[in-house]
Amino acid sequence: MIAVPGAELYTEKAGDGPALLLISGGGGDAGMYERIVPLLARTYTVLSYDRRGNSRSRLAEPATDIGPAQQAADAVAVLDHYGIDRAYVFGSSGGGIITMELVTHHGRRLLGAVAHEPPLIQVLAADSPERREFERLHQLADQRSPLRAYAAFGAMILDDPPWVFRSPAGQTAVAGGSRALLAIGGLARRVTGREPDAMTRQLGNADLLMLREMPTFLFEYQPDLAALAASPVPWRLATGRDSVGRPYHRPAHVLAQRLGVPVVEFPGGHTLYVERPEEFVATLLPILAELQR
């Protein structure tokens, strides 16, 4: 555990070699990367953590700052805790936005970076379909429930979501089942003292993601495009081959055109590191090697 302003961060470390920091997307935690860590740890010292307010990283007070600038400072604090001067960074989705903030303001701490499908809809038109899709999720969370919106979010990010995630009735049923799972997990934790499994932990992050992180990261945060373009850090934007048409795909390509930064393509979609870990690592390692050169 690492003490940072307004929170404590749960961290994990594995492997040996150059440092590689993995930053999870919205609703996720270190468990999002648990299938790829052993593969990457053959080459790198791999650091992962639960972002502030998520899972095992508790907020000291509910109203504390959770914006990208503070979360980039949290990432630096993780490096400091392990005595690491410079590291490679991979961040996906909301973690990709934090990665870009690191490139902008903490470049001296980076060896290189990959920002995978950052949903920076601020670079799109105000009436873009991508922005409307995320606004719909936020309204669903506000008017119905965060867990109902989280089920719809699952349909958005999974490569091949089950049918139950794709209909309003199914999403309502999933939200009800999620509430029951959270209640059982909370009871088990009080009785046994054990943390719930990764899926239950991440369900518990729905309120933070839908009601606070989504508006802060997507509707309020403005990336410093001039500073990104001027950064000396070797970095890449990345998207998945199967993510075409999803609301987190086009922002990276619009950014790439504006900044002159390459977009590298991963196979699969938004959560390839969960669904096909070997394929993900086989794609990431050459990208990191290129950044090193």
Strand order in the sheet with 11-14: 11-14, 45-49, 19-23, 87-92, 110-116, 235-240, 263-266
Q: Where are the domains of the chain?
A: 2-292
pLDDT of residue 21: 98
**Architecture of the domain defined by 2-292:** 3-Layer(aba) Sandwich (3.40)
pLDDT of residue 291: 95
| 11-14/235-240 β-pairing | unpaired
Q: Above pLDDT 70, what percent of the chain?
A: 95
DSSP 9: E
pLDDT of residue 150: 85
Task: Give the helix ranges, DSSP H, for the chain.
Answer: 37-40, 68-81, 94-105, 129-143, 146-157, 168-192, 198-203, 206-207, 214, 225-230, 250-259, 272-275, 277-292
pLDDT of residue 187: 61
Question: Which residues of the chain carry a pLDDT beneath 70?
Answer: 162-163, 174-175, 185-191
Tens digit of each residue's pLDDT (9 = 90 or more) over 37-67: 999 999 999 999 999 999 999 999 888 999 9
Q: Say if residues 69 and 43 touch (Cβ distance below 8 Å).
A: no
pLDDT of residue 12: 98
**Does the model's pTM come out above 0.85?**
yes
Tens digit of each residue's pLDDT (9 = 90 or more) over 15-28: 999 999 999 999 89
